[in-house]
Amino acid sequence: MSGLWGRLRNDFQLSIVTLVGICSVFGVTPYAVYRLQQQNWIVGFTDTFLVLGTSFAVFYAWRTGNTVRPGQFLAVIYSLGGFLVTIKLGINGLFWLYCLVLFNFFVVPPVQSLAATLTTLVATCIYGWQQPGDIFESHYQMMSFVVTYLLASLFAFVFAYRSRFQRRQLALLATLDPLTGIGNRRTMDDELDIAISDSQRYGMSFGLLVLDLDHFKSVNDQFGHSVGDQVLVDFVRVIKSACRASDRIFRLGGEEFVLLVPKVDRQALAGAATHIQRSVANQLRSPGWPVTVSIGGCVLEDQGSREAWLRDADVCLYQAKDAGRNCTVIKGLETPVD
């Protein structure tokens, strides 16, 4: 049960599809039963199809983790179902179209929601125009419905678009370091877990480097934190230029960074660290003196967890500092690399 609640807490769209699905099943099922008892076959079977389709979509979302296709499927069948119910029930069916507006903007992206919502509106108005009296009692009533329906759609679109934008911004804040724009500790934890899983499942090799700027506190103390921040930004730029596209850098905290290096052995990891160390020494400057970096690293072997893997690399980092800084220590290689 805790796993189910965890998925709902961590996946907003899955929670929305599930909530909407539950509300739809419990809300529509009584109407389906009532319509079938009244032998109103078209509406009854439409409601039944909506209930079964909703159940299938929720099951598919939970089984596969894909919430995009179930949302699109639900938007299509509910838009079609809303139209069919409206032409059969007349003006009483129009009330369900307002629920459809909210439903669509919850389960699919705003632009797709707007397309489904407007398509339903156009189809309803065309039918109402061609069959006077079946849905609308007058053209004035139809225009009133169009205006209120469009207003509801506009408000829902603005809300959905703004909410989607804010969720994206929150996701960035939760996963990226705001100063340097690279992955933060949370992102690093996820990436290291994935690397360990890939290593165990596919036999892929990974190396881990922990990098710490030497005497960085002196930069902040003498020149201020704004200068120190710029040094950190320049440091990340240098690291990216010295690394492969497949390497991933994360900010662990302060002036300490972690580099995940796939497809390497000890010698290759030491070579990558040496190249980074020299690039930093040659390219990175503070206002008063050159900036250097100490590096500790290890290849993923039998650590079994990211905490143990990171701890092994961290021990090597402290050995590099004890060896005089501006050098690299790789677990399994006997001597520091200058």
Top mean-pLDDT range of 101-105, 177-181, 219-223? 177-181
Phi, psi torsion values for 214, nearest 5 degrees = -75, 135
Residue 296 Cα distances to 52, 280, 301, 311, angstroms: 57, 15, 16, 10
Judge whether 320 and 327 are in contact, CB under 8 Å. Answer: yes
Those residues whose C-beta lies under 8 Å from the C-beta of residue 268, and which sit 6 or more positions away, are 207
> From start to end of 156-289, where are the E strands?
206-213, 248-253, 256-262
Give pLDDT, residue 211.
Answer: 96
Give the pLDDT confidence of 69-122 residue by residue, as tens digits.
888 998 999 899 889 889 888 888 888 899 889 888 888 888 899 999 999 999
Least confident of 109-123, 188-202, 241-255, 278-292: 278-292
Measured distance CA(78)–CA(72) in Å, rounded:
10
Measured distance CA(271)–CA(309) in Å, rounded:
19
250 pLDDT above the threshold of 80 = yes
- For the record, the structure tokens of 86 come out as 């409206």
User: Which part of the chain has CATH 3.30.70.270?
Assistant: 185-330
Give pLDDT, residue 336.
Answer: 61
Those residues whose C-beta lies under 8 Å from the C-beta of residue 222, and which sit 6 or more positions away, are 288
Give pLDDT, residue 185.
Answer: 92
Average of per-residue pLDDT across 303-319 = 92
Give the pLDDT confidence of 127-148 residue by residue, as tens digits.
999 988 889 988 899 999 999 9
Catalytic option among 255, 301, 307, 334: 255
Give pLDDT, residue 172.
Answer: 79
Picking from 238, 217, 236, the residue whose alpha carbon sits closest to that of residue 228 is 217
- For the record, the structure tokens of 158 come out as 């603005």
Report the top-level CATH class of 185-330. alpha beta
Measured distance CA(211)–CA(249) in Å, rounded:
10
- For the record, the structure tokens of 172 come out as 């960035």
Picking from 75, 145, 230, 225, the residue whose alpha carbon sits closest to that of residue 136 is 145
Q: Could you confirm whether 137 is annotated as catalytic?
A: no
Q: What stretch of H or E contains 171?
A: helix 139-175
Give pLDDT, residue 116.
Answer: 92
Q: pLDDT higher for 255 or 8? A: 255
- For the record, the structure tokens of 313 come out as 């690399």
3 pLDDT above the threshold of 70 = no
CA dihedral for 138, 103, 38, 46, sign (positive or negative): positive
**pTM given for the model:** 0.66
Other CB atoms within 10 A of residue 138 CB: 10
2 pLDDT above the threshold of 60 = no
Give the pLDDT confidence of 167-176 residue by residue, as tens digits.
888 877 788 9
Average of per-residue pLDDT across 310-325 = 93
pLDDT band at 273 (very low <50, low <70, confident <90, very high): very high
Those residues whose C-beta lies under 8 Å from the C-beta of residue 170, and which sit 6 or more positions away, are none
Picking from 126, 248, 239, the residue whose alpha carbon sits closest to that of residue 187 is 248
| Mean pLDDT rounded to a whole number for the chain | 89
